[in-house]
Amino acid sequence: MMQRKILVILENKPGALARVVGLFHQRGYNIESLHVDPVKDVENYKEIEDSLDLKLQENEVSKLLITTTVSDNLLRQILRQINKLIDVLIAKEEI
């Protein structure tokens, strides 16, 4: 088990953060730290815009950084589950 950082870009809507945290709670995963900021400079996220074929607007999405300690298999499972959530645009391991 290693400490991992998960980057989640999600729509800045009421309840979006609660759904991500609820996923961790329901499955018994521990969140060691959690940091959320609205995305003000969308220029850094051109890769996401291109892959999802959409145009991000300032303060329309939030960047969520979660630190947790999990194995490789559990990390892959968590990422699959987070990416299925309705307000999540993309979730990946922050390297």
pLDDT in tens, 9-36: 998 889 999 999 999 999 888 999 999 9
pLDDT category of residue 81 using cuts at 50, 70 and 90 = very high
Write the Ramachandran bin of 26: left for phi over 0, alpha for psi from -120 to 50, otherwise beta.
alpha
Q: What is the pTM of this model?
A: 0.85
Domain ranges of the chain: 2-93
How would you class 26 by CB atoms within 10 Å of its CB: exposed for 0-12, middle for 13-18, buried for 19 or more?
exposed
Tokens 């979660």 belong to which residue? Answer: 66
pLDDT exceeds 90 at position 76: yes
Mean pLDDT of 24-52: 84
Q: Which two tokens stand for residue 47?
A: 């890769």
Q: Which CATH superfamily is domain 2-93 in?
A: ACT domain (3.30.70.260)
